[in-house]
Amino acid sequence: MSSNLKQRLNRRGIRPTIQRIKVLEYLFHSQTHPTVDEIFTDLSQEIPTISKATIYNTLHRFIDAGIVRKIPSDTDAQHYEIVIKDHGHFKCLACGKIFDFAIDYDHLEVDGLEGFIIEKKDVCYSGICPGCQLNSLQN
């Protein structure tokens, strides 16, 4: 796995340091859309010398290279994910989890943006996930 990640970084002109590989590997295996704090907490157990600044700098470098994206959020805690394919996000207002869902951006109809240059498309919904709905019925 890490040799593929090294190649991915090299193709984007990013030197594959141990910290960068570990951050990318973490995102690749994560299904939780982690925050910097979550990445730091988990990786610092494996790499005690890693700092939050290193993680922030690594994520921003990955974003600039198009490897990682920041998920739009209405809170201060930014969530990150590895870029694989276009999809939307649903954030549960009860538990805070972020779920992916399929969306075809090319066929998404939008009125009122004639003359605008669209550089980025994000679709985010919020509400209550099925698990939290079930929990609220049981309580």
Annotated binding site for Zn(2+): 92, 95, 129, 132
Contact 33, 27 (CB under 8 A): no
- Provide the annotated binding site: 92, 95, 129, 132
Q: What is the DSSP secondary structure assignment for residue 17, as one 8-state letter?
A: -
**Which amino acid appears at position 120 of this protein?**
K
Contact 21, 9 (CB under 8 A): yes
Looking up tokens 């669209």, which residue turns up? 118
Q: What is the DSSP secondary structure assignment for residue 85, as one 8-state letter?
A: S
What's the token pair of residue 69?
A: 């994206």
